[in-house]
Amino acid sequence: MGSVTAKAAEINSDELAPDTGRPVSKARLARFGAGFIFFNVAFMAAGGIASSVLLPARFNTLGIGKGETILGTMNSVSIIFALIANVIFGALSDASHSRFGKRTPWILLGAPVAALAYYMTSVSTTLVGIVAWWSLLQVGLNCMLASCVAILSDRVPQRFRGTMSAFYGAGQIVGQSLGTIIGSALIDSPRVGFAIGTICWLLIGLITVIIMPRELSAANDSARRFSLRQVALQFRPPTHGATDFYKALVGRLLLILGYNMIVGFQLYVCMRYIGQNQKNAAATVSSMAMITMIISLIISLLSGPISDRLGRRKLPVFVASIIIAVGIIIPWVWPTKTAMLIYAALMGLGYGGYMAVDQALNIDVLPNPDEAGKDLGILNLANTLGQVIAPMVVSPIVAATGGYFLVFPIAAVAVMAGAFIILTIKKVK
């Protein structure tokens, strides 16, 4: 035992796992990477099958309002639940003392809740029902998401966080693209698509926990004894030494906003801006998703290890943001199918590079590692708020102008504003 400790002491502290104080073997790192990839591919694919294609197409046939309005209402209301759930479950997992660990029980709990809500959304025929069930889905998802993200801080050595962040980001991008591809292929058989998504949600928590190395028991964690007062205090936002934390939050929010202003409406963009019918638009969206998936997977898996080797986070984020902004501008000035495919390629290049280092940057600016679940939950509000604000910005523009022409330049400006804010962070290179 003493020799193990002595060897660990000789190793750079950046290479030691925070939960054990020991180096992590390549096999365990591989399991962490595989777990992050699976979790993110599964939840993004399951969600994307519905939100990217099948639900927008279904909304056009329900006779309860315009498709964009239904989609915007669903996203805007449900994301509020996601905001609250992410912070709550992040804080609760920080304060948990289960013998299965702090994070594992919450990952297992969220999956069946999300599965039930997903299925009910797919069969609801009223706006109230759609919004209510999709909101519950966000609660189940964020129960898992807040806990899974915190594993990066809890258990992964700092030296390898860029690589693990790359796996995390690659999984999200591949999952989103895969969901769009599956949804587009099943646009004439939506029940099959919704069934696939429901099964994914049902199994995601269990399979993720099986793939990842087993978490240490938190039952005897005397440093953080459970109390209602302590749980309540967990919900306080950080205030000391948190300037860079909030810069990361705002920078990420603006980038996610600009990104989702186009991605969240891509079926409608192809139909109402490019001028395609629904079937051709679905085929175009599927091709875009395939292009984005392939490019982003390659780029993200390369960018993460490079970021770890260079020890830099801000420059890759800035360069990625420029690429995303250029991609958004191309279909604005050239509204054709070809332009949308070029846009998809640049989205894969830029967003893949961004997501590869995003989570590593977020962890590097945490004010207090002991409250990683709660603080990462707050940082993840950027994703949620970006998705909330995007339809709130896009829908009025479309309603007022009758089209998507002004959406593109506004989205590009938001992305670049976020990039410049990230550059002002001082704690991270």
The predicted-structure confidence for 42-96, as pLDDT tens digits, reads as follows 999 999 888 878 988 888 888 887 777 888 788 878 878 887 887 788 778 777 7
DSSP code, position 100:
T
The pLDDT value given to residue 12:
63
Tokens matching residue 100: 């299965």
* Domain presence at residue 155: yes
CA dist 358 and 40 (Å) reads 14
* Domain presence at residue 16: no
* Domain presence at residue 11: no
Domain extent for 399? 24-217+226-423
DSSP code, position 95:
T
* Domain presence at residue 159: yes
The pLDDT value given to residue 307:
62
* Domain presence at residue 274: yes
Tokens matching residue 421: 């804010």
pTM (two decimals): 0.71
* Domain presence at residue 238: yes
- The model's pLDDT over 401-422, given as tens digits with 9 standing for 90+, comes to 988 999 999 999 999 998 898 8
Give one DSSP letter per residue of 145-197, joined into a string.
HHHHHHHHHHHS-GGGHHHHHHHHHHHHHHHHHHHHHHHHHTTT-HHHHHHHH
* Count of structural domains within the chain: 1
CATH number at residue 285: 1.20.1250.20
Confirm if 409 and 329 have CB atoms less than 8 A apart: yes
* Domain presence at residue 10: no
Residue 118 is inside which H or E element, if any? helix 104-123
Place 385 in a pLDDT band, splitting at 50, 70 and 90.
confident
